Amino acid sequence: MAMWKELLKEGVKRVRDFENSRTLPVTRLPRLGLALGGGFARGVAHVGVMRVLEQEGIHISCIAGISVGALIAATYASGAPLESIADRACRTTFRDFARWHLSRYGLASNDRLEGYLYEFCGKRRIEELKIPLAIATTDLLSGHSVYFTKGETGPALRASCAYPGLFEPVEIDGHVLVDGFVGTPVPVDAARVLGAEVVIAVYLGMGTAKEKPRNMVEILWRSFSIMQNNSLRDIYDRCDVVIEPDVSSFMWDDFHRGRELVAAGEAAARAALPKIRSLMLPRGFPTVDEKTGIKFKLAPPTSPLP
């Protein structure tokens, strides 16, 4: 009888030890999410930021992008080398991704953007890419940001790059979608949705303009950039690091100055390295959701936004 009591006691102890082990935090590196803002040609600076992270061995777990940031994010998530992305960007012209098409909804169509993207990743779906990706857009009907984390890459990218007034909106699943920057200047929340525990936001602000706008496109671009600058304060509160490359001297169509833009991104990223390194240290993370008791696979999930 005493033997059975001891066996029962030992069994209860093992069960309790097992349950306790499920709730102990696991020590690991945090999952790093990169959130890339828009900026037309200025987006080439994103390549410089990512190049520095690669050189320093800082692993990007997931990536989110708006407009040109979404294009850079999608090509990188496909596995394309950064050098190839930079080379193609330097040879880009307006006709590569758009064509003038006057309508009641815009001055041009960006339907050629899908072919531009497929040069790097083919017709793969978002969920088939090598790095988890979120493409941020804005729904004109609800006024909310819409994040695409699965589905066809091309249409979602076109929607994210549908600059209001210039490009026609893109309709997907009942949403009338335009450029993601209308909802937020940098898709920090989209990176959180993917499970990022540390988020680096890359913002390509306009800075102070030294010359008058040359045409209607520049008037639109500068007007929206001012709106973005005024809403940036909220981004600082919601991310861990904000990198702001000095791109104030570049125009929206300065793709031919791609190498300079890459260098601007590199310089800004290197200046932010001490803070990034301080955040990317092993730490304890919970293994079980305290509310549901469900064990996490990689990181605590984040509820999607409306």
Distance CA 263, CA 259 (A): 6
Distance CA 104, CA 172 (A): 19
Distance CA 97, CA 114 (A): 8
Tell me the helix, strand and coil percentages in the chain, rounded to 5.
45, 20, 35
CB 198 within 8 A of CB 60: no
Residue 23 identity (one-letter amino acid)? T
* Catalytically annotated residues: 67, 179
What are residue 34's phi and psi, to 5 degrees? Answer: -110, 125
Distance CA 267, CA 289 (A): 40
CB 258 within 8 A of CB 252: no
CB 159 within 8 A of CB 137: yes
Distance CA 247, CA 260 (A): 9
Tell me how far the alpha carbon of residue 52 is from its chain's centroid: 17
